[in-house]
A and B are shown apart, each in its own frame.
Chain A
C-alpha cells in the first residue's frame, strides 16, 4: 500500500459515524447542557482569591514570627550602656549625673577608681568608667 492510498483510506475513516451525526440535534443538546451547567467562573474566582488571601496571611504571619524571633526583647539593650549616651557631657555635667546616683545608691557600691576620694578629682574618662561600673 502506498502513501496516497493510505491517506485516502484515512480520509474515509470515521466518515460513516460523521454522516450519521445529527448536527442540529447535537448543537441543541450542547447549548442546553451549557445552560443547565453554567460555567462556575465566579465561584472559581472567589475560591482563587480566597486561596491567595490565605497564602498571604500565612506568608506575612510567618515573616512576623521570624522577625519576632530574631529581635528578642532586651537583646538590643544588653550591649547598650547609658554611659555611652553621656559622651557629649562635660565633666561638670557628668558630676551632676553621678550626684543623682549618690542619692539612689549606697556610696559603698560605687566603684571609685583607686586613689580617688572625691568625684570632683576625676576627669571625664574616669567618670564614665564609674558610670559604667554602676550600670554593671
Chain B
C-alpha cells in the first residue's frame, strides 16, 4: 500500500482518486467523508428507506472505488457517484421486491421542534417523495440532480449520457408532474 499523501481540504477529488488508484486507503476515506451526505440525501430522495441508507451509501462507494478506472472525468466525481448510487438503489429495489421488505414507517422517524410544523413538512415531503416514485427513472434522476443537488444541465447530461436539452425537457416534465401531485 502507498504511503498516505499529506493533503488539505483543498485537495481536489482528482488528486484523491489518483491516490486511491495507487492504493491510498486514506484517500478513499476522505472521498467518503466529502460525498457521503449528499449521496445519502440523493438516495433517500430517490426512495431509499431510511434504515438502508447507510448500507446503500457504503455499497455505492465500494462499487465506485472498484470501478474508478472507468471514471474519466466526464463529469464531477460526485455526479458520477450519484449515478452509481441510482443503480445501487435500483438493484436494492429489485431485491426488496423479491423479499417484499417494507420501508421503515415514516412515523418512527426522529423529529424535534414544533410537532405541527414538522407534521406539515413531513406530509409535504412525503407527498413529494411519493410523487417522485411515480416519475420515470430518468425524470426522477434529472429532477433530483437539478433541484436537490443543484447541478447544471450540462453536468447532468454528461453523467446520464444525454444532451443538456433532453435533460432540461426531463426536468420540466418532472416539475409539471410533481406540481400536480404536491398541490
Q: Chain A residues in contact with chain B, CB under 8 A?
A: 1, 3, 6-7, 9-24, 26-31, 33-35, 37, 39
Contacts and interface: CB of A to CB of B under 8 A. Distances in A.
24 contacts: A1-B182, A6-B182, A7-B147, A10-B45, A10-B144, A10-B148, A11-B150, A12-B121, A13-B144, A14-B42, A14-B43, A16-B44, A17-B48, A18-B41, A20-B110, A22-B54, A26-B54, A27-B33, A29-B58, A30-B29, A31-B25, A34-B25, A34-B62, A34-B65
Contacts of A6: 128, 147, 175, 178-179, 182
Interface string B23-59: 0010011101100111011111100101001100110
A13 B29 contact: no
For chain B, the bracket of interface size reads 35 or more
B175 A3 contact: yes
10 shortest interchain CB distances as A-B pairs: A14-B44, A10-B147, A17-B44, A14-B41, A27-B32, A13-B45, A14-B45, A18-B40, A27-B29, A18-B41
A19 B44 CA distance: 11
Contact of B129 (A11, A13, A15, A21): A13
Contact of A30 (B28, B44, B147): B28
